[in-house]
Structure 1
Amino acid sequence: MSTERLFLTFTHLSDATRHAEYNAWHQLDHLPENQLLPGVAWGDRWVRTPECAAAGHVGDVAFEPVQYAIAYGFRPPLESALRDWTDLNQRALWWGRRPELAWTERRSVGFFHPVKEDAAARVLVDAAALPHRPHRGIHLTLSRTAAPSAPTGASYFEALDRKLIPAVLTVPGVAGAATYRFAEGASGFGSPAPDADGDLVVRLLYLDGDVLETSALVENEQPDWIGRSSAPGDVEHVLLSTPMRSIRPWEWDWFDRG
């Protein structure tokens, strides 16, 4: 696995006039500095455009404002990788290179353990290469699930691994999938994590087909992946399930159109 630990956060802007400024800072300054660190295996970010939001599902209103997802994968040794990464974020404050803090809000910041990565047979590359392989976007699902040690949880995770993920990997435009389970919160990197985060699961689909068309195909062929009918207390309660687009440099006008 290329990802020993995943960091994930969702953000939205409290000042709608600053999307270009935010993306210029993150894509041209912050992200390259982080990817330079030897312990960072990869870093990426995606945008939940208005069209993506309309095509997705929100099962917890706290995630309705989400506009961006930011993720970093870390390689071992984790202690030094996370120390260097944290130190860079602190030094950026002293450099005066964190302009976004006054008008950016974060949600569900945390670290996740990798569970499994799977690549569609047609893409040929190893599953560990998926974060490094170009893609047009992702479909991200954040859920609360029953514990895998409980009978209902064991059945759910067996079906996810043996049936649901293999079926989704056959959908045209889906290049691969990755599943992560919650490890710990990330104090100092955003809003405090909500209670009982130990049952959080993240599922990512890497999409090399058109993001909206591929997401529609996934929902049509495997509606359980989206979880629109899930509710609190179910074996899986989907909090957010949404397509998100990859961010291309200098093309940052999604929230200005129309």
Structure 2
Amino acid sequence: MSLPGTPSDRVDGILANGDGDITTLFVSMARRHPDGTDAEYLRWHTLDHRPEQHRLAAVRASLRLVSTPACRAARAASVEPYDEIDHVMTYFFSAPSGMEGFLGLSRALGDAGRKLPLLPPVERGVYGVQSRRAADRVKVGAHVLPWWPATGVYVLLERGAEPTDHLLGVDGVAGAWTAQTLDVDARLANAPTGQSLTYFFLDDDPVAVADRLQPMLTQRTTEIRLAAPFHTIVPHEWDRYVP
């Protein structure tokens, strides 16, 4: 069903009221749980660890993603070590300076006995947001997509960058954010410089959208490291989407 009205990004009066303040992404990519207890980990992280991060003024939003076997089979590209990624956790920050409080809170939660062993890491990166686009049909502006109820996200990780605007016309793609790695303290990240990350926010089944995107992604001239659909977490249905 079509939503009424003019898209936000075409209305100056809407845009004048703010843009959400997000400039920076912290992205943690990890393997599945070594003991197969991914659902239990997601329960802890979603009910305990993730909400606590929002006491930090610099944390504006958060997003947790999971790859299922069907998602993995629908990947357009997946090279080592990125082929091992089944979990992606993203925190959206108003500025890179917010990372210091992020580390301090993590230590405090650990001291309170509130942390589980982390999922085996593949890569962590801090990214500066470069561009945001939203499909007109969803009405909401591109800046508010992190708060929009996506069914999933298609993650495109590549070295170099090419435009992705034409992919907004693919059925199920509601919008896209693109960001590039920032040079930060090694305590925070190990993602290589020159790496570009695009999140396509979805409102259809991620696997179905992946099938529609694949022919277009194979035409890109960048070095694609991961092109993969992921589901968002369904609260209190912890085993609904697991690797």
Band of TM-score, shorter chain: 0.7 to 0.9
Aligned to 1:91: 108
> Helix, strand or coil: the match of 1:168?
helix
**TM-score when scaled to structure 1?**
0.80
> Helix, strand or coil: the match of 2:224?
strand
Q: Residues 92 and 119 of structure 1: is their aligned pair in 2 closer, same or farther, counting only changes over 3 Å?
A: same
Q: Deviations over 1:99-149 (max 9, x none)?
A: 123xx211221100111000001111111000111000000011112xxxx
CA distance in 1, matches of 2:73, 2:241: 13
The Cα of 1:186 is off from its aligned counterpart by: 5.3
Structure 1 stretches of at least 4 aligned residues deviating more than 6 Å after TM superposition: none
Aligned to 2:197: 202
Matched residues, number: 224
2:190 is aligned with what amino acid? A
Q: Does 1:236 align with 2:222?
A: yes
The Cα of 1:13 is off from its aligned counterpart by: 3.4
CA distance in 1, matches of 2:195, 2:41: 28
Aligned to 2:82: 63
2:211 is aligned with what amino acid? A
What stretches of structure 1 of length at least 5 have no aligned partner?
A: 146-155, 228-234
Aligned to 1:173: 172
CA distance in 1, matches of 2:68, 2:175: 22
CA distance in 2, matches of 1:241, 1:70: 16
- Map of 1:1-258 to 2, 5 A cutoff? 1-2=19-20, 3-76=22-95, 78-79=96-97, 81-101=98-118, 104-145=119-160, 157=162, 160=163, 165-185=164-184, 187-189=186-188, 193=190, 197-220=192-215, 222-224=216-218, 236-253=222-239
1:193 is aligned with what amino acid? N
CA RMSD of aligned residues (A): 2.1
Alignment check: 8 A CA contact 1:107 1:193 kept: no
Q: Deviations over 1:221-253 (max 9, x none)?
A: x2347x5xxxxxxx5111111000001112232
The Cα of 1:169 is off from its aligned counterpart by: 0.8
Q: Deviations over 1:176-201 (max 9, x none)?
A: 00100010355335xx726xx11100
Alignment check: 8 A CA contact 2:180 2:196 kept: yes
What stretches of structure 2 of length at least 5 have no aligned partner?
A: 1-18
1:140 is aligned with what amino acid? V
Aligned to 2:7: none
Q: Residues 255 and 72 of structure 1: is their aligned pair in 2 closer, same or farther, counting only changes over 3 Å?
A: closer
Alignment check: 8 A CA contact 1:111 1:186 kept: no
Normalized per residue, the structure richer in helix is 1
Alignment check: 8 A CA contact 1:109 1:186 kept: no
> Helix, strand or coil: the match of 2:211?
helix
1:85 is aligned with what amino acid? F
CA distance in 1, matches of 2:242, 2:202: 25
> Helix, strand or coil: the match of 1:118?
strand
Alignment check: 8 A CA contact 1:50 1:254 kept: no
Q: Residues 127 and 181 of structure 1: is their aligned pair in 2 closer, same or farther, counting only changes over 3 Å?
A: same
CA distance in 1, matches of 2:242, 2:222: 35
CA distance in 2, matches of 1:179, 1:171: 17
